Each structure stands twice: as C-alpha cells, then as structure tokens.
C-alpha cells in the first residue's frame, strides 16, 4: 500500500527510557493503525539520562516484533512532525487521573494548532499502569531491581550505566539515626 493511504499514528514522548507501559501502548496502537511512528522528542529543557540515539536504539530493539513500528526523532512542534509524516492521529497513554489534566491541555492545544489531527488516548494494562520512566530511573539509580518494569535490553543498559556511575562516584553519606536516651 502506498504510504499516503496507510493509517498512520504518531506516538510521541521522551522515552527516557521506554518502559513496559510504553510497549503495551505501542502494541495496542499497532492493532489499530497500519503504521505507528514512535517519535522521540528533542527537549532541551528536560535533562535526559539517555541520548536520543540510545533511546531510539532501545525502542527499535524492543519493537522488532512489530512490523508497523517506525522509530523517529523530532525537533519542534509535534503537530508539524505528525503532518509531515502523513499521520492522522497522535497516541498518548493515559495511566491515571493524575495524567489527565496535562494530557487534556496538550490534546486541546494540539487540536488548536492542527484541527485535522486527532489525539487518541490508550489505556495501558493494569500491570503496567503504575509505571513511569522517572520511577524506573530512580530505582535503577538506587540499585533496585527494574527487570519487571522494562524490557530486558533497557534493564541491561540502565544497570550497566548506574553500576559504572556507582563505581566512579561511590556514595559517601551513610544513613544515620539519632537515638534519644530516656
Ligand atoms: O513523554 P513526555 O515527556 O510526557 O512527552 C511529552 C511530549 C514530547 C509529547 C511533548 O512535550 C511534546 O509534544 N513536545 C513537542 C513540542 C510541542 O509540540 N509542544 C506543544 C505541545 S501542546
């Protein structure tokens, strides 16, 4: 089928790193669209753990079983990227009520900017709906087990990265307790 006739969706995000929750949303989107572009946003205001290339490589490796998936990066407005990609829809995962306000605001603003592009919210599975890249990074940084929350290549990358950092910058402060004598 020519690319112009394919039903194309863009799934944008920071993906720093991709989690099982993101993967769940991508798999759901692949059941609805012929072409799903997972688009890693360049965001200079947000300090990232992984480079754009590392994030794209990881997404590409964990979605290799999904033929509809393409991995891209974009700079600038999301709706411009979607238009230039021939996408009719933006996909966002909605995990909980706490996501709603931000997502609603973004969806309405994107609609103002590009009325022809719809935002579609997909609900991830209950097993993944508590996950976030931020929490995964925090757990990995503190030496916790992240393998239940991210695909194996992501777990391996984060473990290696933080193990190297811990070796280079060992923790100097020990937890302390003040005991009061009675
Ligand atoms: O995974 P995130 O960090 O919640 O994703 C946010 C993202 C990348 C989707 C959002 O920041 C975005 O769309 N950035 C591109 C710039 C843009 O179009 N801004 C206007 C949004 S209304």
Q: What tens digit of pLDDT does each residue of 46-74 get?
A: 899 999 999 999 999 999 999 999 999 99
pLDDT tens across 94-136, in order? 998 889 999 999 999 999 999 999 999 999 999 999 999 999 9
**CB-based contact 3:35 (threshold 8 Å):** yes
Q: What angle do CA 156, 162, 166 make, to 5 degrees?
A: 140
For residue 26, give the 3-state DSSP assignment: helix
According to the model, what pLDDT value does residue 166 have? Answer: 81
Against a cut of 0.75, is the pTM above it? yes
What atom of ligand 1 comes closest to residue 77's alpha carbon? 18
Is residue 3 part of the annotated active site? The answer reads no
The pLDDT value recorded for residue 168 is 78
Ligand 1 atom showing the smallest separation from residue 46 Cα: 3
176 catalytic? Reply is: no
Specify the 3-state DSSP secondary structure of 28.
helix
């Amino acid at each position: 089928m020519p690319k112009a006739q394919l039903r194309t969706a863009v799934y944008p995000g920071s993906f720093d790193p991709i989690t099982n929750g993101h993967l769940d949303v991508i798999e759901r989107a692949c059941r609805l669209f012929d072409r799903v572009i997972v688009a890693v946003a360049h965001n200079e205001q947000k300090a990232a753990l992984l480079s754009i290339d590392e994030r794209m490589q990881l997404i590409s490796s964990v979605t290799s079983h999904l033929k509809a998936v393409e991995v891209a990066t974009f700079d600038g407005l999301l709706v411009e990227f979607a238009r230039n990609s021939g996408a009719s829809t933006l996909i966002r995962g909605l995990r909980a009520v706490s996501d709603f306000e931000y997502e609603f605001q973004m969806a309405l603003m994107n609609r103002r900017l590009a009325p022809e592009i719809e935002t579609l919210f997909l609900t991830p599975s209950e097993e993944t709906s508590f996950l976030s890249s931020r929490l995964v990074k925090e757990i990995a940084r503190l030496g916790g087990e992240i393998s239940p929350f991210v695909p194996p290549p992501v777990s391996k990358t984060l473990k290696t990265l933080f193990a190297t950092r811990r070796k280079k910058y060992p923790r100097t402060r020990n937890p302390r307790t003040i005991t009061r004598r009675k």
